[in-house]
A and B are shown apart, each in its own frame.
Chain A
């Protein structure tokens, strides 16, 4: 069982991230502390969580990528990682703070709601495609989540009549990266399905929702290409797209079509 000492890692990780957020808003006379401390602290939390994932992986003897709880774990790692990288690149404090907050939230959810983490991996999942498919998807989801955070912020600033003109192009950066990962994930999935189930695409509910999500971001990209000035419309498209992504990720199990899915693995 993987969660044996999860508590310890939770405390350490959350401590680092809280300290990082705190130090973001710290007024220090020492310039280099102000510059590097938040990043270092965030990195500390990321490392401690990575360590936990490694320990878990070796303990359960299979990639921890199967249940919803396990994917949440990756999400709480990748979101702060992306927040940290973009902080280093673009210096948006609020973005780092948000991504750490979201990462922390996912950890807390996992802590309160641990699921069974058993060792068995059904035969269909034992494939070379499994790890690339899931990792690429997790990256895509984390990047696209980051883009919708930006969209939320933009819409809020707009509502408050504050300047938000720099935000849409930041959202674009996340979407372009996220969408290329999303496309890879979709295609890896198709290639894998051919090996495991005999056909690359069967419009299974999970596949259908993955396709819906993909077209939504496709629409965003083309809208942006043609109408770079219609920022507000674009931000709303982004929020709708993310809502569809969330349905694909969590919601599929609750839809009337779910009983037909071959992709719901958790009991």
Chain B
């Protein structure tokens, strides 16, 4: 191999790393010394114009500077590898430095490493990556050959998904709305905390939670911590009874979904904030001694109730975990139309350009919550992102097939 000096054509990795270094310095300096020039994608239609401009530049380079060393290099594997490594390096920083919060380090705050996705560094890395990927795609897209189908699906798909996601980020709206039972609400807050009035109102008709059966566990009377020694499982659902906790056999004699303490036992009651309770029979496996008492998880209204089985240990009931929570809502539009539906986690509801999600509720109140937090999301660029994603999914099948086939020919 003959030695090639830097910037002598054809360019390769060395130039790639120099470009990465240059962009990194540029990004950091820009961020630190020109903080007023924020790295922000313009809103519609600015982002569309920006996108078209980017495509035109790439097409221009592809058609009009075919032979240039710059084009050859930017559409080559060394540029792909160095730009991917740059992106990967930034992602590692993002994966180590907590994001979107002040950092104790002044340097991190100043250079924007604590909010990398909004920093110039990230923008420049993206531009390098997408330029390289775009030109590599065009190389085999125009003119198109059938044998390049897999290549085009992978590369063009990724380019479309990433470009659309980046450009669309400024048009993405995520609002959260606090809905109280029986009170139509039309104001929502966006992610920066601004209150926004919507053309629709949402009225929470009913919020409900289905719960898993409560779990029992053993705690240490002194520390209040769950006892783990010598056991593989610390938690048992009441539905699994009878079961063995250390040297005790635990049986559930009575289970009440909503109960209140009356004297020293629990009775079924029908009041808001009544927690579940269970009457347990505990038998010591060696001495055969038995004891009988109640446990209850407690709620925002009632104290938890523990069963002290020895001087060291007590059995306690944990608050039941939600299996499913849902909001029955009525949507009211300005022109007087009404619509009723139910929102549930993983089952959003589409309305115009919006999607409505069940986000959360008053966890303190649990199943008696009369508050439901609903998220409203509008992302007009999503069809383009999904187009890219589905092209990529189709592309993985080609990789699956061709990857091994090509190897086989060489073996």
**With known contacts A200-B385, A212-B95, A257-B98, A180–B403 Cβ distance under 8 A:** yes
CA–CA, A172 and B236, complex, Å: 46
A27 at the interface (CB under 8 A from B): no
Interface of A is mostly: helix
**With known contacts A208-B91, A215-B88, A219-B88, A177–B403 Cβ distance under 8 A:** yes
CA–CA, A225 and B323, complex, Å: 48
CA–CA, A124 and B78, complex, Å: 41
Q: Which residues 106-163 of A sit at the B interface, judged by CB distance below 8 A? A: 114, 116-124, 126-127
Selecting from B49-57, B67-75, B177-185, B394-402, the interface stretch reads B394-402
29 cross-chain CB contacts under 8 A: A3-B233, A114-B233, A118-B215, A118-B237, A120-B323, A121-B323, A122-B321, A126-B346, A169-B410, A172-B403, A173-B403, A173-B407, A175-B403, A176-B399, A176-B400, A176-B403, A180-B400, A183-B396, A187-B393, A198-B174, A198-B377, A203-B99, A208-B95, A212-B88, A212-B92, A257-B97, A257-B98, A259-B98, A260-B98
Measured as residues with beta carbon below 8 angstroms from the partner, the interface class of chain B is 35 or more
B117 at the interface (CB under 8 A from A): yes
Chain B neighbourhood of A244, CB < 8 A: 92
Chain A neighbourhood of B234, CB < 8 A: 116
Chain A neighbourhood of B87, CB < 8 A: 215
CA–CA, A54 and B98, complex, Å: 39
> Are B377 and A196 touching (Cβ within 8 A)?
no
Smallest CB separation, B1 vs chain A (Å) = 11
The 4 closest A-B pairs by CB, nearest first: A176-B403, A226-B77, A123-B345, A215-B88
Which chain A residue shows the least CB distance to B397? A180
Smallest CB separation, A195 vs chain B (Å) = 6
> Are A260 and B345 touching (Cβ within 8 A)?
no
B411 at the interface (CB under 8 A from A): yes
Chain A neighbourhood of B400, CB < 8 A: 176-177, 180
CA–CA, A227 and B80, complex, Å: 13
Give 1 or 0 for each of B223-250: 1 = CB within 8 Å of chain A CB.
0000000001111110110010000000
> Are A124 and B379 touching (Cβ within 8 A)?
no
CA–CA, A127 and B233, complex, Å: 26
A201 at the interface (CB under 8 A from B): yes
**With known contacts A169-B410, A176-B400, A183-B392, A255–B235 Cβ distance under 8 A:** no
Chain A neighbourhood of B389, CB < 8 A: 187, 190-191, 200
B94 at the interface (CB under 8 A from A): yes
Chain B neighbourhood of A1, CB < 8 A: 232-233, 236, 240, 243
> Are B346 and A172 touching (Cβ within 8 A)?
no
CA–CA, A237 and B371, complex, Å: 51
Chain A neighbourhood of B85, CB < 8 A: 215, 219
Which among A120, A124, A190, A211 has the greatest number of chain B C-beta atoms within 10 A? A120
Smallest CB separation, B363 vs chain A (Å) = 12
CA–CA, A247 and B96, complex, Å: 11
B63 at the interface (CB under 8 A from A): no
